[in-house]
Amino acid sequence: MLGTITTLVNTSPHASGTEELPDAEALRRFVTERIITEVAPPTNADVEPVHRVRARLAAIFVAPDDQARNRLINDALANATVTPRVVEHDDLGVHLHFFPPYASLAEHLNADCSMALAFLLVAGEAGRLRVCAAPDCNRVLVDFSRNRSRAYCDSRTCGNRVNAAAFRARQRS
């Protein structure tokens, strides 16, 4: 679920430079790629509510401290219809759903994503939520590294670009 959260947040114009979820077709691709189940095919009426959920989740990544994250996660949970249940479907094994069956896409995302972030915060791992350290990047990431040292959304793009620029600067000095 944390991968879905970062993917969703990174579809915003602030993170990617363009709106990557502008219409129902883009939402349908997102649902398919992220294997989001038990939702009706998205329509254009789903776009704005999903954007609101995305903005709420993005705010959690940039919160200044755990207290602020806690407050933002509680706000997200207060706006969620949480109906926990154990399910097994689509060869995904036994897992939890936190949204009511066939909730709207925005309700589904808000419930599942808020719960995932709440579990991360309660486990003392909220510091793993980051914004890419590259000066020209606003994408978010969850640092799964053992030593909590991941700084870039993608080490092959942002990481290499920053490291190459630092190398060139040292060569000039």
For residue 160, the model assigns a pLDDT of: 64
Taking the model in full, what pTM does it have? 0.87
Tell me the two tokens of residue 11: 């579809």
Tell me the two tokens of residue 115: 């719960």
What type of residue sits at position 66? D
Residue whose tokens read 């939890």: 96
Q: Is there a contact between 164 and 155 (Cβ–Cβ < 8 Å)?
A: no
Out of 43-52, 70-79, 121-130, 159-168, least confident range: 159-168
Per-residue model confidence as pLDDT tens digits over 71-108: 999 999 998 888 888 989 888 889 888 888 888 999 99
Q: Cα 20–26–28 angle (5° rounding)? A: 145
Out of 37-46, 51-60, 65-74, 162-171, least confident range: 162-171
- Please state whether beta strands 85-88 and 129-131 pair in parallel, antiparallel, or not at all (unpaired): unpaired
Instruction: Give bridge partners of residue 86 from the DSSP assignment.
Output: 96
Out of 26-40, 44-58, 81-95, 125-139, least confident range: 81-95
Largest CA distance in the chain: 61
Tell me the two tokens of residue 108: 């589904």
For residue 157, the model assigns a pLDDT of: 74
For range 25-43, the mean pLDDT = 94
How many Å apart are CA 62 and CA 19, to the nearest integer?
A: 19
Q: Is there a contact between 4 and 30 (Cβ–Cβ < 8 Å)?
A: no
For residue 165, the model assigns a pLDDT of: 61
How many Å apart are CA 13 and CA 99, to the nearest integer?
A: 27
**Average pLDDT along the chain:** 90
How many Å apart are CA 1 and CA 172, to the nearest integer?
A: 44
**DSSP 8-state assignment for residue 87:** E
pLDDT at 167 over 90: no
Q: Is there a contact between 128 and 148 (Cβ–Cβ < 8 Å)?
A: yes
For range 19-26, the mean pLDDT = 97
